[in-house]
């Protein structure tokens, strides 16, 4: 074979020109290769015994396999011992705490005359590259953001208590530009994780097509090789910003090699800039991190003339715009609709209405700091502004049965206007009824009952009954009912009392002073 291999397309060109009857020298001149190379390949092709016409129908890969058939490696007994041991060793290495060094000790216990430690490591690395090759991931502009936590924590001082705490370090990186965001957070809860992801999007000034997290509980509710179940809030976060979630495979750090490598760089370029003898608040700690991060992103990449920030300037326009508002964390509960057409949010001790047709049904209640949403079989049936006043109701009139909808119009002004249409005397009495209740709603039924007497006995009698009840100072429905039932409204007001006559046998009031 020639000293320098040529491409399969050039070999096919040699074959085509040969079939046209062109000489070897002219073929070499036309293709820009030596005459010796043409001779070598034509002889090799002749030895194959395959007609030139059939060779032209082969793919480049098939032609290469004909010219360069795979060589069978002769493995001696000692090497075979290693290759038989490595598959079992690979399974053992998945156990927590297992090391290659311990596996070498196990190998030597089985094969005392086998290879030593140096050869063991050499052949293992060769075997591992062959059976588990590393795939190069080609990153696309604006495609993915990789996120993870650094293993090492950073100390900070809790401002409220002065207690020394350990901050988790959140890391995010854009795949194409390698532009990086780092933030210290209080813990790895879903709230802190989503906040870190959101802050990274605002730092990058855009949203990539997908976010690639590890299989941590904050992101993935249940890991799976084929269809992992995402945390509900993280899924809602992705929908809010119009991106997808692509969890990395379990125990496959190469799926997110960029962020794994960035964690190592963060140890070198960020952790080392924070003084060990000083402790900061979480906010001050993040300010120090941002200063180091700016230098990291603006410094040139190893062996290149551009920085991560230079690359980000090119990638940022390809990112999708941020959502108009920030994402609000949602909590989810299962609730049952009560007989009055409301559901109860125990955290606020508040009631929210739903369509009366759903009475007795189980609904999914999803709430954030500003809104309460209710779903029945994945369909939103009600949406309310969140109200945190305890023991009160938020009711939409359209949710109530037709015969009950008029009740939603009840308020103090409603009853006062109704009473004023009858007489100012009745209006004043209704005002007193309302004023004597802690919550006006407690008096609504009483007011409705009092006003109903206008139709039952007439305005005139109701006016007199209110006047008489006002004189004795009782303001409720029962008093008006008793006055009308006993016809006390028909009596004139009592005349002024007659003074007591003077008499010697009557001692008088002064006697007792």
Q: What is the mean pLDDT of residues 203-218?
A: 81
pLDDT tens track for 109-144? 988 888 888 888 888 887 776 655 544 455 678 888
Residue pair 322/206 in contact (Cβ under 8 Å)? The answer is: yes
Residue 199: which of 288, 287, 307, 327 has the closest Cα?
Answer: 327
Highest mean pLDDT among 152-156, 438-442, 508-512: 152-156
Q: Among 203-207, 219-223, 415-419, which is the least confidently predicted range? A: 219-223
DSSP state of 348: T
pLDDT reported for residue 404:
53
Q: Of 365 and 37, which is predicted with more confidence?
A: 365
**Cα(194)–Cα(329) distance, rounded to whole angstroms?**
8
Q: What is the mean pLDDT of residues 415-419?
A: 89
Q: 299: helix, coil or strand?
A: coil
**Cα(121)–Cα(114) distance, rounded to whole angstroms?**
13
Q: Give the residue carrying structure tokens 């794994």.
A: 260
Q: Say yes or no to pLDDT of 226 above 50.
A: no
**Cα(247)–Cα(373) distance, rounded to whole angstroms?**
28
pLDDT reported for residue 492:
55
Q: Where are the beta strands (DSSP E) in 7-153?
A: 144-149
Q: Say yes or no to pLDDT of 408 above 70.
A: no
Q: What is the mean pLDDT of residues 314-332?
A: 88
Q: Say yes or no to pLDDT of 249 above 70.
A: no
pLDDT tens track for 143-176? 888 888 888 889 999 877 788 889 999 999 888 8
Residue pair 140/176 in contact (Cβ under 8 Å)? The answer is: yes
pLDDT tens track for 264-279? 888 888 888 888 778 8
pTM > 0.75: yes or no:
no
pLDDT reported for residue 225:
45
DSSP state of 352: E
pLDDT reported for residue 163:
86
DSSP state of 182: E
Q: 217: helix, coil or strand?
A: coil
**Cα(259)–Cα(242) distance, rounded to whole angstroms?**
22
Q: What is the mean pLDDT of residues 350-372?
A: 88
Q: Among 86-100, 171-185, 302-316, 445-459, which is the least confidently predicted range? A: 86-100
Q: Say yes or no to pLDDT of 203 above 80.
A: yes
pLDDT tens track for 483-497? 898 888 877 555 455
């Amino acid at each position: 074979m020639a000293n320098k291999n040529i491409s399969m397309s050039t070999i096919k060109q040699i074959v085509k020109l040969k079939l046209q009857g062109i000489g070897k020298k002219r073929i070499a001149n036309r293709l820009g290769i030596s005459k010796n190379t043409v001779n070598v390949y034509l002889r090799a092709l002749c030895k194959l015994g395959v007609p030139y016409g059939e060779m032209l129908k082969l793919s480049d890969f098939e032609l290469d396999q004909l010219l360069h058939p795979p060589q069978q490696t002769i493995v001696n007994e000692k090497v075979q011992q290693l290759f038989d041991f490595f598959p079992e060793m690979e399974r053992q290495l998945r156990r927590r705490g297992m090391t290659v060094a311990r596996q070498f000790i196990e190998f030597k216990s089985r094969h005392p005359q086998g290879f030593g430690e140096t050869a063991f490591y050499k052949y293992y690395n060769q075997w591992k590259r062959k059976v588990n090759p590393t795939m190069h991931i080609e990153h696309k502009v604006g495609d993915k953001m990789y996120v993870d936590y650094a293993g090492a924590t950073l100390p900070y001082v809790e401002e409220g208590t002065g207690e020394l705490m350990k901050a988790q370090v959140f890391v995010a990186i854009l795949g194409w530009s390698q532009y990086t965001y780092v933030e210290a957070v209080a813990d790895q809860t879903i709230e802190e994780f989503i906040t870190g992801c959101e802050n990274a999007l605002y730092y990058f000034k855009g949203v990539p097509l997908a976010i690639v997290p590890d299989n941590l509980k904050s992101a993935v509710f249940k890991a799976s090789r084929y269809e992992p179940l995402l945390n509900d809030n993280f899924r809602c976060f992705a929908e809010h910003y119009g991106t997808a979630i692509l969890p990395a495979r379990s125990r496959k750090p190469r799926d997110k090699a960029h962020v794994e490598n960035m964690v190592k760089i963060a140890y070198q370029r960020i952790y080392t800039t924070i003084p060990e003898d000083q402790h900061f608040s979480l906010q001050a700690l993040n300010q120090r991190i941002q200063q180091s991060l700016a230098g990291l992103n603006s410094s040139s990449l190893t062996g290149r003339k551009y920085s991560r920030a230079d690359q980000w300037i090119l990638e940022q326009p390809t990112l999708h715009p941020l959502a108009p508002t920030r994402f609000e964390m949602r909590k989810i509960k299962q609730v049952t609709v009560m007989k009055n057409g409301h559901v109860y949010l125990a955290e606020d001790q508040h009631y929210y209405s739903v369509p009366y047709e759903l009475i007795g049904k189980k609904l999914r209640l999803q709430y954030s700091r500003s809104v309460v949403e209710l779903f029945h079989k994945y369909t939103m049936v009600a949406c309310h502004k969140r109200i945190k006043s305890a023991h009160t109701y938020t009711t939409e009139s359209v949710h109530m049965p037709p015969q009950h909808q008029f009740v939603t119009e009840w308020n103090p002004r409603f009853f006062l206007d109704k009473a004023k249409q009858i007489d100012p005397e009745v209006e004043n009495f209704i005002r007193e009824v309302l004023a004597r209740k802690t919550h006006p709603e407690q008096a609504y039924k009483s007011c409705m009952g009092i006003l109903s007497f206008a139709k039952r006995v007439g305005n005139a009698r109701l006016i007199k009954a209110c006047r008489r009840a006002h004189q004795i100072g009782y303001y409720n429905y029962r008093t008006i009912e008793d006055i009308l039932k006993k016809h006390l409204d028909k009596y004139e007001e009592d005349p002024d009392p007659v003074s007591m006559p003077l008499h010697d046998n009557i001692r008088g009031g002064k006697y007792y002073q």
